[in-house]
Structure 1
Amino acid sequence: MYSKKKGLLAATAAASVFALTACGGGGAGGGEGVSFSDSPSGSLTAWGFDNADEVGTSRLDYAEEQLSDIDIDIDQTAFDAQKFTTRVASGNVPDVVQMDRQFVGTYAAQGLIEPLDECFAAHGVDPDEQYYESVMDDVDWDDKVWAVPQFYQPPAIMLNKRVMDAAGVTNEDIDTSKPDVLLDAVSKMYAESGGNPSVLGFDSVGVNQAGLWMLGYGGELMDDDGVPTLDDPKNAEAINYLKLLFDAQGGYAKYKSFTDSFDTFGDNNPYVADQVGAQVNAQWYVNVLTPYVDQVEIEAVPFRDMEGEPFTVASGTAFVIPAGAKNADAACAWAINLTSQDAWMAAGQARAQTISDTPGAINTGLFTGSPAADEAIRAEFVTESGNAGFDQTISTFYEVVGEGESYGASPAGQEIQTELKNAVTSALLGDKSTEEALADAQEAAMRAYDSATEGQ
């Protein structure tokens, strides 16, 4: 086990996508007899927190101060889906676990986690007031709330102005609501060497961000009840356009080989090396580029839906309480305190101190899942950096965060994500038509949905 002052997932880390292992039946609702109060005590075990930085440790310190009657042990190892389901089945579970929000609905439907409506009520928190609507939609299922959200990483389009200027492309040309304009801009910026890509005009991140494109085109991955809808015709429109983008840049296979070689987090990253003209990125990637402020020329524009409106999707982690937790009361209080306004302000202060101690560092803000916390941190700690491009990029992410939409919560969340990626990859490679690939994915996702909801 790990000390209670260490182990929380860093705000600047990319949100991990966990491939959950399906678990049979059980039904929604978790265990019976769970109660929550505003004065918990005893011991608490937590799991799934890794890569701690000052944003995490400052919040852990704050929660420790507020919960002096609780003895907290944190297992710093990363969350593992198969291990989680095995532990719940055996009854050997931690009291609180951090996981990706996209899969909360799956565990809720399987009866592996507890509903938390009474947890929020015990601490006087209205989750619909505290968190972005899109963030809450990630953890709402069957008219209950199943997790305490933390972090929100909205994607937008980060621009490489050197590549764009050399090709005569403007910010207005990088507009996802104008497919023909964007495709023309991509063709102007794209370059090859020896028949292989050397500069991508636009990296759509088409497989990992397929859901963003589908929802932006007016499609959906599931309906309001969590029933899979992967074969929605609007989804096919989005994937067909993505294929046009890839085909204009050497095809998906060559694109994949090229991007796999990127030094994404290093000194020769795609913006330093001028390997992209524009790229879909989550907000955390701005942090990756701050050490290279003198070597890159960046700006950003929103992803836009087909109506031309700024659009993004919610992603991030959350705390859940497993069914069978021995001290759900303490787990609830701990999660609530870690995501409180005061905890986030402590994190903002800690991040600001780190920035001030690092010559040339830029404060890009924190994106917490709570609009009030985001606004307060920005107002107090995010100042002009002296680099107009970075300042404009930071502002763009703040502008789009309120425009987010949730993928939704579903008992088949695991299968929807897995089959979506398989279908998009197959369509982009030309192994199947888009419609055929999505139809096959829908069939597999429905089997998972029917199995998860059987008897409910």
Structure 2
Amino acid sequence: MVRGIARATSVVAVAGLTLAACAQGTGGAADGGEQVSYDSGAELGGSLDIMGFGLGDDVAETRHGIALEALGDVDVNLTEGALDIQQFLTAVASGEPPELIYASRDQIGTFASRGAIIPLTSCIEGEGIAVDDFLEPALEQVTFDGEVYAVPEFNTVPLTMANADLLAAAGLTVGDVNGSSWEDLAAATQAMHRGDGGSLSVIGYDSKLPEFLPLWAHANGTDLISQDGRTAQLDDPAVVEALEFAVGIYDGQGGFPEVKAYRDSADFFGEGNQFATGTLGAMPMEQWYLNVLNEVSPDAPLVFDTVKDRQGQPIAYASGNAWAIPADTENPAAACRYARVMTEVDTWVAAAEARKAAREGEGQTFTGLLTGNAAADEAVRGLIEPSGSGVWDGAVAALYEANENAFSLPANPADAEFEQAWQDAVNSVLNGQAEPQEALEKAQEEAQAALDDAWAKWEDSEA
């Protein structure tokens, strides 16, 4: 399985962080004001401490091995597990940061605005990182105030996943649940839903709240924040309508608490998953779940499609991680080399070839990798062979179509506070504590105040 993307829900402010100077040319102030030379042909030494990355699967292990070869005599140490934000910011404030971090892309704006990481202008030029190869939404998410602050990798996108038998029994197709018609989707939910005397036995459709509000809003023609990352749009009528619809999907099945309790009881990663047992009609779900289903229930009655907006166009709310170099670190040149090698085309192809061989050896289907690098994605896709199964070949086709139609929310200096505001609003509605309009108006005030304050601090630091 592709590594999951962990997302922290808050960023802890640490006093004393100062902005690193902007890198220029082939040298930049990356370590206490000293000029650093980045050169893809240079021999490197010293140590490289990486925080937030682990060797949890074959793809990580293959790529890490290639990066170690490129680093030569550099002593590499990993602090595995999801990035501990408080630990990281404390390390920066204390003057003893790691050389490299592996962070969620939507944390990069905050880290950049607080001076916790450095711009990568010099790193990109010196190591020859082909930034034009990266997917535009991924690169935009790590670009703050006009400068790239991290090297993106992986792209996680949702697909429509459905039980073909439940659809057929209700006289439906996957087109009724891909989101192109909200009216058809609501009707399909009711047609597949089963609840006997208040006891839920089949979830017709799971709209995946709170995390997918950005997806539903985008499908309705808007986004939660302006493209420049400065203006919250949580009380936009289109966002309110999207939340009303997505919550209404649960209300028609006994309410969110009942649906959540039932879905949480499923053997999500095992043979008794909700598709294999016929207890879920359809849902939008991240593409990494394809591998889970192919491993544990390859013969389940499945069908896949992209998620579509209300005009019938494919969309995908993308997320992923990225490599960033902390301020005042001792070995930024090694950090830059590692980030470059881990995300370049040849490395991804080697990892994909290893993954393909492993899956074929287990009698399973290789469904590709979404790397965040468009050139690498194309090369990896070339390794995929028809499986002979319409289900899994259709899944792969949907995966790549979604990837080509992905969007992300822009970098901003208050990403954690912004996300907390809208997620709290959604949860208050799901739990029956507020109506959508009321909840989103309150969230709008909180989110905009956080954005205004964070942008003002950034601008003051730049003055």
TM-score, L = length of structure 1: 0.93
2:161 to 158, 163, 171: 158
Q: Unaligned regions of 5+ residues in structure 2, if any?
A: 22-29
The amino acid that maps onto 1:35 is V
2:430 to 428, 431, 437: 428
Give the corresponding residue for 2:90.
86
Instruction: Spell out the pairing of 1:125-140 with structure 2 (5 A cutoff).
Output: 125-127=129-131, 129-140=132-143
The amino acid that maps onto 2:82 is A
Give the corresponding residue for 1:442.
444
- C-alpha contact (below 8 Å) 1:20/1:82 kept by paired residues: no
SS for the counterpart of 2:241 is helix
SS for the counterpart of 1:280 is strand
Distance 1:293 1:433, change over 3 A: closer
Give the corresponding residue for 1:5.
none
Give the corresponding residue for 2:49.
45
- C-alpha contact (below 8 Å) 2:200/2:259 kept by paired residues: yes
Q: Take 1:139 and 1:284, find their aligned partners in 2: how far apart are those partners?
A: 22
| Runs of 4 or more above 3 Å deviation | 24-34, 292-295
The amino acid that maps onto 2:430 is L
- C-alpha contact (below 8 Å) 1:36/1:332 kept by paired residues: no
SS for the counterpart of 2:205 is coil
Q: Take 1:448 and 1:335, find their aligned partners in 2: how far apart are those partners?
A: 31
Q: Take 2:193 and 2:216, find their aligned partners in 1: how far apart are those partners?
A: 21
Q: Take 2:293 and 2:323, find their aligned partners in 1: how far apart are those partners?
A: 29
Cα deviation, 1:201-222, whole Å, max 9, x if unaligned, reads 1111021111111122122222
How far 1:126 moved relative to its partner? 3.6
1:97 to 89, 94, 101: 101
Cα deviation, 1:408-437, whole Å, max 9, x if unaligned, reads 111110011112111111123331121211
1:264 to 264, 268, 271: 268
Q: Take 1:454 and 1:378, find their aligned partners in 2: how far apart are those partners?
A: 44
2:368 to 365, 372, 385: 365
How far 1:323 moved relative to its partner? 1.1
1:287 equivalenced with 2:277 (yes/no): no
How far 1:24 moved relative to its partner? 5.2
Distance 1:104 1:292, change over 3 A: same
SS for the counterpart of 2:295 is helix
Q: Take 1:28 and 1:81, find their aligned partners in 2: how far apart are those partners?
A: 18
Give the corresponding residue for 1:7.
none
Q: Take 2:115 and 2:443, find their aligned partners in 1: how far apart are those partners?
A: 25
Q: Unaligned regions of 5+ residues in structure 1, if any?
A: 1-10
Distance 1:44 1:51, change over 3 A: closer
Q: Take 1:24 and 1:219, find their aligned partners in 2: how far apart are those partners?
A: 34
How far 1:234 moved relative to its partner? 1.5
Q: Take 1:294 and 1:310, find their aligned partners in 2: how far apart are those partners?
A: 25
1:23 equivalenced with 2:9 (yes/no): no
Q: Take 2:298 and 2:245, find their aligned partners in 1: how far apart are those partners?
A: 35
Cα deviation, 1:11-39, whole Å, max 9, x if unaligned, reads 61321111232315756546644534112
Cα deviation, 1:299-322, whole Å, max 9, x if unaligned, reads 111111222211112211111111
- C-alpha contact (below 8 Å) 2:3/2:56 kept by paired residues: no
Give the corresponding residue for 2:244.
240
Q: Take 2:48 and 2:68, find their aligned partners in 1: how far apart are those partners?
A: 11
**Equivalences, count:** 443
The amino acid that maps onto 1:413 is D
Give the corresponding residue for 1:409.
411
Q: Take 1:24 and 1:222, find their aligned partners in 2: how far apart are those partners?
A: 26
Q: Take 2:147 and 2:298, find their aligned partners in 1: how far apart are those partners?
A: 48
Give the corresponding residue for 1:109.
113
Query: What RMSD over aligned residues (CA atoms) do the two structures have, in Å?
Result: 1.7
Q: Take 1:307 and 1:28, find their aligned partners in 2: how far apart are those partners?
A: 44
Moved more, 370-379 or 219-228: 219-228
